[in-house]
Amino acid sequence: MADSTSPVTPPVSRSNSSRNRSWWGWGTADKALPDAECTALGGLVPGSAATPLPVPDISALELPKVRVEPPSALAPLMSAAPRDRASHTYGKAYRDVVRALNGDLSAAPDQVAHPRTEQDVIDVLDWAADADVAVVPYGAGSSVVGGVEYRADRHRGVVSLDLSNLDRVLEIDPVSRAARIQAGTLGPDLEAQLRPHGLTLRHFPQSFEFSTLGGWLATRAGGHYATLYTHIDDLVESLRVVTPVGVNESLRLPGSGAGPSPDRMFLGSEGTLGVITEAWMRLQDRPRHKASATVLFGDVHAAMNALRAIAQSGLHPANCRLLDPGETALAGVARDGESVLVLGVESAHSPVGERLAQLVTLARDHGGSPAPAAPDAQDAAEDAAAGTWRSAFLRMPYLRDALARMSVITETFETACTWDRAPGLYESVRRGLGDVVREVTGTAGTINCRFTHVYPDGPAPYFTVIAPGRRGEEVAMWDEIKTAAMQILTDHGATVTHHHAVGRDHRPGYDRQRPEPFAHALRAVKQALDPAGILNPGVLFDTAAAG
């Protein structure tokens, strides 16, 4: 058994995801909606602009002057090409896309580094610490919270550290079902390298195609599945992290009680304490049995009660997604005023029909009406439906970009709270934030909610806001709405983020919810591991100037 760990040797070609990336918006440039479709889509939102904002020509954009040049030894890793700098200026939040469309690239990094090895990462950090250059770790840039955008002004320059060349599964242990994976590996590339072994990480965030393992780990990403293993945290066996004071590698362990978890200190550290270069990740056998069902509810609060009963049942559905009436209408999947609960069960080993039946019974006990549908996803029609939904899900950010071009404010925010607070929070967002949207935009706009993850003690509600913006004022308008949203979350004891991370945009809410002694401790850790203060400054906390 001891020799069963088999190194994965065949090189795997990079997925399409890493080619032809849009520098200003989501995903690949070829999937952006053409102008005519943008206009048509905008037509669905009363008050939107009449024509789409043009996508600026990158060669016409004014980028800030490059302030720092790398030493010759590092020069081969670095680029100051306008396209590299432009595409590494922002993440992919609504406000990022709008600013890019407006040609505002004042926050562009001076250099973009593409390390090919861990040693390259170490060398870049060493140089940066000496040269007082800020380093912003960059996986695939899908942050929606300002996580990769330098906003401070106290460094001599800024390097975006793009880990996309570290894209390999290095080793697979089929006995323990684990793999050693480089941090820059994109979702599809990672799964492609595991598939021949019958294994899967089974972590599918909405950003799956355009985000990396390292990004997931640094931000405590949430996957597609609703229960049990929701966050990437629980799939980590060990981490390897380059910090400015040395490489931190934890033991590969299935479980341990030896002191505070070293991995949990780096999970969620968002590039402020070190650069994750690889991780041993827990894998799963690929599911062979799947079944799903849809249940309709006339009353959203009854649906929430059903959701809670299911979350507390120990039945662990893979999917347990509740769409409120607005979200249901937007998806066009049921009648006016109805809420839809989508249930899915999966297993690599045992038939799941019985478990699905129990789940549906629980939903019915709480007033739900099962929709007539093939309950077995092995069935081709059901597979096709799931595929359609998956496509729509992955297409959403492109629609968001199209609406952004029509000056429609369209953004999401998400949270988690205990069940006792969930109904009040839901109503407060609908009403309280509704008032704010009306005040800011002059229209009722749309505020929808879906519940993406559920725990025995509470759900993770995910809100979508859509409302017409005034051209040129979209970012300021959204910021006003977002500030109010964060205050509502604080008022209800809900977290500022369930899985989007803190970055820079969530700082006001995060600073309120983080216990002060812990903040003090975290700053001490920062000072210990990054004494020059070069790593992703301004994310999670403020730190003193480099010293």
Residues 232-251 that bind a second copy (CB under 8 A): 237, 241, 243, 245-251
The residue among 273, 350, 154 whose CA lies nearest residue 527 is 273
The least CB distance from residue 522 to a second copy, in Å, is: 7
Selected range binding a second copy among 57-65, 346-354, 385-393, 443-451, rule: CB under 8 A = 346-354
For residues 211 and 143, the answer to whether their CB atoms sit within 8 Å is: no
- Spatial separation of the C-alpha atoms in residues 521 and 227, rounded to whole Å: 31
Question: Does position 527 bind a second copy by CB under 8 A?
Answer: yes
Q: What residues between 49 and 78 interact with a second copy by CB under 8 A?
A: none
Count CA atoms closer than 13 A to 428's CA, side-chain side.
17
Residue corresponding to tokens 């066009």: 332
Which residue number, 418 or 443, has a Cβ lying nearer to a second copy?
418
- In contact, 174 and 197? CB cutoff 8 Å: yes
Contact 525, 265 (CB under 8 A): yes
- Minimal distance in Å, beta carbon 126 to a second copy? 15
Applying CB under 8 A, which of residues 270, 382, 411, 474 lies at the interface with a second copy? 270
CB of 229 to a second copy, least distance (A): 10
Strand partners, 497: none
Judged by beta carbon, residue 77 or residue 460, the one nearer a second copy is 460
Per CB under 8 A, 347 contacts a second copy? yes
Window 355 to 374, contacts with a second copy (CB under 8 A): 358
Long-range contacts formed by 329-333: CB under 8 A, 24+ apart: 330/446, 330/448, 330/464, 331/392, 333/294
Q: Is 231 among the residues that bind a second copy (CB under 8 A)?
A: yes
Give CA–CA dist 83/162, Å, rounded.
Answer: 14
Residue 32 lies near a second copy (rule: CB under 8 A): no
**Minimum CB separation from a second copy for residue 256, in Å?**
4
Task: Supply angle C-alpha 108, 539, 73, rounded to 5.
Answer: 50
212: which DSSP letter?
B
The correct pick among 147, 268, 537, 538 for binding a second copy (CB under 8 A) is: 268
User: What angle, 0 to 180 degrees and rounded to 10, lies between the N-to-C axes of helices 353-365 and 300-311?
Assistant: 140
Name the one range near a second copy by CB under 8 A: 23-31, 50-58, 130-138, 281-289: 281-289
- If the CB atoms of residues 16 and 312 are measured against a second copy, the closer one turns out to be 312
Beta carbons within 10 angstroms of residue 424's beta carbon = 14
Residues 463-522 that bind a second copy (CB under 8 A): 493-502, 506, 510, 513-518, 520-522
How far apart are alpha carbons 534 and 154 in whole angstroms? Answer: 10
Tell me the closest approach of the beta carbon of residue 526 to a second copy, in angstroms. 9
| Residue 152, amino acid | A
Between 2 and 36, whose beta carbon lies closer to a second copy?
A: 2
Count CB-CB contacts under 10 A for residue 67.
Answer: 12
Question: Could you tell me what percentage of the chain is helix, strand and coil, using 3-state DSSP and rounding each to the nearest 5?
Answer: 35, 20, 45
Applying CB under 8 A, what is the total number of residues that bind a second copy? 103
Nearer to a second copy, 107 or 357 (CB): 357
Site membership for a second copy, residue 4 (CB under 8 A): yes
Q: In the complex with a second copy, which residue's Cβ is closer, 81 or 528?
A: 528
> Considering the rule CB under 8 A, would residue 7 count as an interface residue with a second copy?
no
Judged by CB under 8 A, the chain residues 171 through 200 that form the site for a second copy are 173, 175-178
For residue 480, the SS3 value is helix
Instruction: Say how far apart CA 273 and CA 526 lie, in whole Å.
Output: 6
Site string for a second copy, 379-418 (x = CB under 8 A): -------------------------------------xxx
Minimum CB separation of residue 14 from a second copy in Å reads 28
- Contact segment (CB under 8 A) with a second copy among 36-44, 262-270, 381-389, 399-407 equals 262-270
Binding segment toward a second copy, per CB under 8 A, in 86-94, 101-109, 370-378, 527-535: 527-535
Q: Shortest gap between Cβ of 465 and a second copy (angstroms)?
A: 20
Contact call for residues 359 and 317 (beta carbons, < 8 A): yes
Candidate list 126, 365, 457, 479; residue touching a second copy; CB under 8 A:
457
Nearer to a second copy, 478 or 510 (CB): 510
Q: Cα-Cα-Cα-Cα dihedral of 99, 57, 133, 186, to 10°?
A: 80
Distance CA 241, CA 3 (A): 26
Helix (H, G, I), strand (E, B) or coil at 226: coil
Q: Nearest-CA neighbor of 205 among 250, 178, 235?
A: 235
Window 416-435: contact mask with a second copy (x via CB under 8 A)? xxxxxxxxx-----------
**How is residue 61 written in tokens?**
């954009």
**What is the smallest separation between the CB atom of 296 and a second copy, expressed in angstroms?**
22
Q: For the chain, how many residues are written? A: 547
